[in-house]
Amino acid sequence: MLVTGASGLLGRAVASSILAAGHEVRTLQRSPSRLAGVDDVLGSVTDATSVARATDGVDGIVHLAAKVSLAGDPAEFDAVNVGGTLRLLRAAGESGVGRFVQVSSPSVAHSGSSIVGDDALPADPVRARGDYARTKAASELLALAADSASLAVVAVRPHIVWGPGDTQLVARIVERARQGRLPLLGQGAALIDTTYIDNAASAIAAALERAPEVHGNAYVITNGEPRPVAELIAGMCAAAGVPAPRWSVPAGVARAAGSAIEAVWRVRPGADEPPMTRFLAEQLSTAHWFDQRRTRADLQWAPTVSLDEGFRRLAASYGN
């Protein structure tokens, strides 16, 4: 089995899960996966030679590699997220690959308003917010359009994945909270779903196994334990031993500020992620939690690590 993007937190966890299930695992990414027992192919999904080498002789593909950012050159998002997916799909057809799991994102169906108990809504590149969501929506549609009797394609959308070793969400929340630069939006009352890393990985592995039976479908993956944003952020801060945010900004103000920062970032991008974007403000101030009944029934899967246990494990990783 091939896993792309296995140098990231989720990619490594997925590769490990598939390896533990008894499969041979090959990975494709630009830096070593640092996983024992896997065959690393170093390269990019934008490079035809790397993709051909990685897909040769594999039975299934889990595609996680993507450009993930709140800002950046739109052409780069298109090249990696759309072009890379298309290149992998073509190589899969040429190599006789039988299963393809497209790791997508719930943002492909988020247009700025609350999502309250919905299942996986249709991906919509036109209404998606930002270049990441737009290109992930387009690539999901490409993948599902390639579903056939010979190539079973499933799209999975893990929602806000976190856990020990997370250098993106958790590390940034903790650092900004430590510096006193992390406000709550609208008191942090919005109810949202998240996914502990072990659960996200096992769900994706389950989608790979179940692809012949459930192909052609998209599934949102979460812990199924929606909680207020403020509570989730406080849990991550407590795990790291830093004070939780105690000040708030009206959601409308944050959205306006996010739009302004995006405009400046396009002209003079900073070295790191922008401190706020309109998409991020919407994500932190609107509810988004999902009906998990179809996901669990079709994938024959359920989370094994609760959010509370996840916070305990996160705290242990910080030595707390």
The bridge status of strand 152-158 relative to strand 191-192 is unpaired
- Cα separation, 276 vs 278, in Å, equals 7
- Cα separation, 250 vs 33, in Å, equals 41
- Cα separation, 242 vs 25, in Å, equals 38
CATH class of 2-163+193-223+290-305: alpha beta
Question: Is there a catalytic annotation at residue 132?
Answer: yes
**Beta strand spans in 197-239 (E):** 218-221, 227-228
Catalytic residue among 132, 196, 219, 318: 132
* pLDDT tens for the 320 residues of the chain, in order: 999 999 889 999 999 999 999 999 999 998 888 888 899 999 999 999 999 999 999 999 999 999 887 667 889 999 999 999 999 999 999 999 999 999 999 989 887 677 888 899 999 999 888 888 999 999 999 999 999 999 999 999 999 999 999 988 888 889 888 888 878 877 788 899 999 999 999 999 999 999 999 999 999 999 999 999 889 999 999 999 999 888 777 767 656 655 565 555 565 665 566 655 656 666 676 788 999 999 999 999 999 999 999 999 999 999 88
Domain ranges of the chain: 2-163+193-223+290-305
Question: pLDDT by residue (tens digit) across 99-132?
Answer: 999 999 998 988 767 788 889 999 999 988 888 8
| pTM as predicted | 0.92
Question: pLDDT by residue (tens digit) across 22-53?
Answer: 999 999 998 888 888 899 999 999 999 999 99
**Each residue of 219-237: b (16+ CB within 10 Å) or e?**
bbbbbbbbbbbbebbbbbb
- Cα separation, 148 vs 190, in Å, equals 39
